Amino acid sequence: MSSQNPDPLERALEMLLLPVVRLALKRGLAFGRFSEMLKRAYVAAARRDFTVPGRKLSLSRVAVLTGMTRKEASRLMKDDPDRDLGKRMIRQVNRAARVVSAWVEDPDYQDVRGAPASLPFESGSGPSLSTLVAEYGADVGARAVLDELIRVGAVGERGDGRLYLIERAYIPSADEGQKLDMLGTDVADLVASIEHNLDPESEAPFFQRKVSYDRLPVAYLPLLRERLSIQGQSLLEELNADMAAHDLDTRPDEASEEGSKQARAMIGIYYYEESRNDDDE
């Protein structure tokens, strides 16, 4: 295939890789290291998604699928097949995020206006952060959850010791490591959704929509961002409440039923903007 006339998949992957490589260059990740990561991803995908039913994945099949030599495929197959690539991508929703969502949605933890109430850490009677975490934080301790929420700037403490919600969503704005985790999980989910929709054998397409305009006045963008912040947050909270009502972590009786099947679902909304020159096509 000529580099001057790449096929549609190659063009799409080049566009996908540009921001990834830009981030890698900004953080000093050299090509050699990136290339090794890509090889690991090839082997991990082959092991997870391209096995022949009832047969163990052979070294020869991995080499054929990936185009690698048997020697290189053998070296990579000795690594942990799920190292940071599979299990981290499908990790459970952060317990702190569940607590924030419940604080926003559960009427027991709202004030008379329907807003998230300020809570004591513990209370002999009535709602508290400890009871909130006990209901929605699974097996995580209330103190650990509070420390995390304060650290990321989602919760504040008043002079009387009562705790109040600053952000209506758990966003680790102060933690670069968790932001990079979100890069992996969120982008992987988006790409996997598109890949699912491209598969002719998929029974039903996943919802995937966007709106895009390339000649918007710059002065309009702050208004657009504000509108998205309000309406997008409102939609996510509505969907979150519905998903939380069916979450088996808060319905242990159903979760323990024999034969109960479980699944992970994710809904995301994102926004992007960039400057446009007059001579851009």
Residue 194 lies in a domain: yes
pLDDT at 29: 86
pLDDT at 85: 46
- Cross-strand partners of 155: 165
Judgement on whether residues 105 and 136 belong to the same structural domain of the protein: yes
CATH of the domain at 127: 1.10.10
Residue 270 lies in a domain: no
Judgement on whether residues 30 and 71 belong to the same structural domain of the protein: yes
Residue 278 lies in a domain: no
pLDDT at 90: 38
pLDDT at 91: 41
Q: What is the pLDDT of residues 236-275, one digit of tens each?
A: 888 888 887 788 776 666 655 655 678 888 888 989 998 8
Residue 28 lies in a domain: yes
Among 87, 118, 145, the domain boundary falls at 87
Q: What is the pLDDT of residues 202-235, one digit of tens each?
A: 889 999 999 999 999 999 999 999 999 999 988 9
pLDDT at 225: 95
Judgement on whether residues 105 and 133 belong to the same structural domain of the protein: yes
Judgement on whether residues 56 and 12 belong to the same structural domain of the protein: yes
Judgement on whether residues 151 and 201 belong to the same structural domain of the protein: no
- Structural domain range at position 146: 95-165
pLDDT at 200: 87
For the chain, which residues score pLDDT lower than 70? Answer: 1-5, 79-94, 138-139, 171-178, 250-260, 278-281
Residue 108 lies in a domain: yes
pLDDT at 101: 84
Total domains in the chain come to 4
pLDDT at 241: 81
Judgement on whether residues 57 and 120 belong to the same structural domain of the protein: no
Judgement on whether residues 39 and 79 belong to the same structural domain of the protein: yes
Residue 2 lies in a domain: no
pLDDT at 240: 83
Among 42, 62, 87, the domain boundary falls at 87
pTM value is: 0.66
Judgement on whether residues 51 and 21 belong to the same structural domain of the protein: yes
